Structure 1
Amino acid sequence: MARDLRGFLKILEQRGQLRRIKALVDADLEIAEISNRMLQSGGPALLFETVKGSPYPVLVNTMGTVERVCWAMNMEKPEELEALGRKLGMLQQPKPPKKISQAIEFGKVLFDVVKAKPMRDFLPPCHQVVIKDEAVDLNQIPMIRPYPKDAGKIITLGLVITKDVETGTPNVGVYRLQLQSKNTMTVHWLSVRGGARHLRKAAERGQKLEIAIALGVDPLIIMAAATPIPVDLSEWLFAGLYGGSGVHLAKCKTVDLEVPADAEFVLEGTITPGEMLPDGPFGDHMGYYGGVEDSPLVRFHCVTHRKDPIYLTTFSGRPPKEEAMIAIALNRIYTPILRQQVSEIVDFFLPMEALSYKAAIISIDKAYPGQARRAAMAFWTALPQFTYTKFVIVVDKDINIRDPRQVVWALTSKVDPQRDVFILPDTPFDTLDFASPKLGLGSRMGIDATTKVYPETEHDWGEPLQSDSDVASMVDRRWAEYGLGDIEQGEVDPNLFGYDMRHR
């Protein structure tokens, strides 16, 4: 992969989507406040060139619009993401081709996998400067503190890289880390994540777990690491599939791990099983401060970086935030995969305003009674990231699921609460969801907002109102003749509901 973070910055600057800030700013609260205002207005990425107490600039809001997320993935439009989803779906559940055209298409996908194989870089830019042992001082990195009651400074967009001590299989994730001292941080990961599994295996063998944090990589690699799709491929191969060519990797200086060769910073260290410190509270994606939780302590003994490195960061919070824009893009990638897993699903949407995954709207081509309930149940188990979806609303295929007016109409005109709402109690749940009576254990709700058929209902359903097709066509033709050519004809723009935040 030839492009790195700096290459992506050139793209942003050429397209007028990067603003350089030369004024002195503070990484404590001030950068996040400025960035949050840009996110609310769909503004450009920001490069703060002069940061108090640090020699390094801070880059934030790189993927603050869906448009820029697409650019990060070498695409121009969200619709192109579905083609990528179809490719990943073929790899996840390959089927014997029935036609020559299908065989050719599958052959192209396999060729893409070959091209996506990672490559080794023996003189990587990330090793231009090497700092070891007592000279390591993480305070030099301009980590931000986004909210006033946050416990400290954090890393948010670092690739956290570990390896299974038995099989040698690497895992690349994006987890939050809290600064604890000049050479230690705590890492906050869920017990089901790859890094946590690797730590448990290391503990069973009485070994320390080696860990590397890569900061300031091409956003495309971050997208690959943040995509929890159950395909038996490494995140490096995933990134190669996303970008069309293999990721350049470099061997770390002091641990047996590989990192992106063009990373701006690399932090190398170890975790001693059982060594923990309190982590948090921090503002999270739910819009509240999270709790305090004992988390594994990482001891860093080596830092490498490029000459004149750039520190890339972001922060969580109530949408819109960068994580919400990423989720909208991933929604498009998931769609073909979800259709393959649950055949009756026509389309699905995760509204940003519903925290990007707490509520899902699904449209189905309804063919039999009870199908909406089946689709909701299948959705919850289709992909790991849907485990924490609290509400699933199922509508007919003729409903535009990205138009809130149509969805609300379906809810109010097609739902009888006693018949059409079902609740699954006491299911494993998101510990950050304070609405649950017990943290980590909550309920989820399905709503059947489809047109009912026998025996779901014992009476005929009303015929929906529709315009006369001939008259509608005539009005389309004569719209300008009426003197109304400068007025749109009442169609809802789906961009207003999550696909492009530049115009909000």
Structure 2
Amino acid sequence: MTRDLRGFIKQLEQRGQLRRITALVDPDLEIAEIAQRMLQKGGPALLFENVKGSPYPVAVNVMGTVERVCWAMNLDQPAELEALGKKLALLYQPRPPKTVPQAIALGQALFDVLKAKPSRDLLPPCHQVVLKGDEVDLTQLPLLKVYPDDANKVVTLGLMITKDCENKTINVGVYRLQLQSKNTMTVQWLSVRGATRHLRKAAERGQKLEVAIALGVDPLLIMAAATPLPIDLSEWLFAGLYAGEGVHLAKCKTVDLQVPADAEIVLEGTITPGETGVDGPAGDHMGFYGGVNEAAPLIRFHCMTHRKNPIYLTTFSGRPPKEDAMMALALNRIYTPILRQQVPEIVDFFLPMETLSYKTAILAIDKAYPGHARRAALAFWSALPQFTYTKFVIVVDKDINIRDPRAVVWAIASKVDPARDVFILPETPFDSLDFATEKAGLGGRMGIDATTKIPPETDRVWNTPLESDPDTAAMVDRRWAQYGLADLNLGEVNPNLFGYDMR
């Protein structure tokens, strides 16, 4: 399969996971409404071929299921995600191997890094059409307006590439851009992101920050940009590890940056430190309109290149489920081995989609000593940059199914004394888009110890939990058909029987 957006779209169509829409559709609200309904039902990707006001088709919902996210990463099923995470964990903080199998595994991982080295494409498809200066007109792109009160149209799945002016390291990130004029956009990002550090360094030197935005890239590159990186390992190498081969890059026409050679559209521009625009409101992942930022960095674009007949890939944020939630579920599995290496007592962890895929973490630990749950929660918050803005951490015993909300709620209800087992860290750095906090960018975090308590955490004897007699349970399994119940699938529990609807 060709490692680009077109190759992936072809794969989806061959597997019956793409629907082409030939009817005329409006990028203002209509496309998002159609895609939203499809996302809610776990439906196929959509390719809108007749978009009002633009000659370019729009692809959306491409990674709208975990299964399709796995396909984008060259995997057949979600179970393989953790194996990929183990390979990445070896590179995250390499340690001297103590056994022959460990040495072989580390050697294989390093060999995979060598294979993943990027290559240069001298005649890249992304340069088939080149527009400069006044020819650049962003309004010709089929940018979406997603919600009625959005201030303007947005770009959501573009890879932003920037370079550190001191050590020349590259950062590849995914940030929301909002249209300001035919050749300018504002960018919405968090202060901890790599591109913001690059802008601060450029400002200290009195320089402009060069920026390239790659639109319509191989979805695998988007996943690589969203993964926590080992020190000194670039996003391009990481993407090569995902793909099993190096990423083909092309040198930009007007800035000293490289972009994916097979990108559908590339925008080249600069940010002048101190030059800003008014960004927002815009629908955000929290499920509300984001606030107005009157000092958002302004990008001035002076060059646009694209393939012949380019496809515009996009998505949108909002209350889950959305595409970013599906991507987060996949990344959750990849993070697990990396997190275990940082915090070995963690057996498993889960970031529920319903809590915006990062606001609440559930940790299962192999508890060994008093205070272990609190230590695990504190270690989690500092393990990876992605967990800086996790608001709630719930720690349970390793025998709790952390992906079953009934099991987790039972653990909280039966094992937590709020006075003893809930702790709060006040005024920590926080997500400025979280309106629940009293101060923007500053908020509290809560840890909940829902593990079985041991002395001196408690002086009371903790009685044995209720379980079925194993011999009787085995007998009932053997005789299930004899009871005349073979046609009942008890693995599928009707949630309405328990007073809630999980539709």
TM-score by length of 1: 0.96
Partners of 1:251 and 1:347 in 2: CA distance = 42
Mapping of 1:57-456 within 5 angstroms? 57-293=57-293, 294-456=295-457
Show CA shifts across 1:135-172 (max 9, x none): 11111100001000001011100000111112221111
> Which amino acid counterpart does residue 111 of structure 1 have in structure 2?
F
Name the SS for the 1:388 alignment partner.
coil
1:104 positional shift? 1.3
1:406 positional shift? 0.6
Show CA shifts across 1:305-343 (max 9, x none): 000100000000000000000111010000011111111
What RMSD in Å do the two structures reach over aligned CA positions?
A: 1.4
Q: 1:492 and 1:238, CA in 2 relative to 1: closer, same or farther beyond 3 A?
A: farther
- Give the aligned partner of residue 499 of structure 1: none
Partners of 1:315 and 1:489 in 2: CA distance = 37
- Give the aligned partner of residue 16 of structure 2: 16
> Which amino acid counterpart does residue 205 of structure 2 have in structure 1?
R
Runs of 4+ in structure 1 deviating by more than 3 angstroms, as ranges, are 489-494
Residue pair 2:121, 2:248 contacting (<8 A) in 1 also: yes
- Give the aligned partner of residue 476 of structure 1: 477
- Give the aligned partner of residue 499 of structure 2: none
Which region of structure 1 is more displaced relative to structure 2, 354-363 or 483-492? Answer: 483-492
1:459 positional shift? 1.2
1:95 positional shift? 1.9
Name the SS for the 1:479 alignment partner.
helix
The aligned length equals: 496
Residue pair 2:45, 2:63 contacting (<8 A) in 1 also: yes
1:488 positional shift? 2.3
Name the SS for the 2:273 alignment partner.
strand
- Give the aligned partner of residue 500 of structure 1: none
Residue pair 2:229, 2:235 contacting (<8 A) in 1 also: no
> Which amino acid counterpart does residue 363 of structure 1 have in structure 2?
A
Partners of 1:291 and 1:70 in 2: CA distance = 34
Residue pair 1:361, 1:393 contacting (<8 A) in 2 also: yes
> Which amino acid counterpart does residue 246 of structure 1 have in structure 2?
G
Matched, 1:461 2:462: yes
Partners of 1:459 and 1:145 in 2: CA distance = 59
Residue pair 1:403, 1:492 contacting (<8 A) in 2 also: no
Residue pair 2:93, 2:230 contacting (<8 A) in 1 also: no
Partners of 1:298 and 1:98 in 2: CA distance = 50
Residue pair 2:91, 2:230 contacting (<8 A) in 1 also: no
Which region of structure 1 is more displaced relative to structure 2, 349-358 or 185-194? Answer: 185-194
Partners of 1:142 and 1:87 in 2: CA distance = 39
Partners of 1:481 and 1:247 in 2: CA distance = 59
> Which amino acid counterpart does residue 218 of structure 1 have in structure 2?
D
> Which amino acid counterpart does residue 454 of structure 2 have in structure 1?
V
Name the SS for the 1:361 alignment partner.
strand
Show CA shifts across 1:347-403 (max 9, x none): 000000011010011111111111111111111111111111111111111100000
- Give the aligned partner of residue 498 of structure 1: none
Partners of 1:184 and 1:230 in 2: CA distance = 33
Partners of 2:464 and 2:491 in 1: CA distance = 22
Show CA shifts across 1:25-77 (max 9, x none): 00011100100000111011000000000000000000001010001101011
Percent identity between the two aligned chains: 78
Partners of 2:475 and 2:94 in 1: CA distance = 48
Partners of 1:231 and 1:332 in 2: CA distance = 20
Partners of 2:195 and 2:116 in 1: CA distance = 24
Partners of 2:63 and 2:343 in 1: CA distance = 30
Unaligned segments of structure 2, at least 5 residues: 496-501
TM-score by length of 2: 0.97
1:89 positional shift? 0.8
Unaligned segments of structure 1, at least 5 residues: 495-502
Residue pair 1:150, 1:283 contacting (<8 A) in 2 also: yes
Partners of 1:287 and 1:449 in 2: CA distance = 28
Which region of structure 1 is more displaced relative to structure 2, 193-202 or 446-455? Answer: 193-202
Name the SS for the 2:388 alignment partner.
helix
Q: 1:410 and 1:242, CA in 2 relative to 1: closer, same or farther beyond 3 A?
A: same
Residue pair 1:157, 1:222 contacting (<8 A) in 2 also: yes
> Which amino acid counterpart does residue 291 of structure 1 have in structure 2?
G
Residue pair 2:265, 2:310 contacting (<8 A) in 1 also: yes
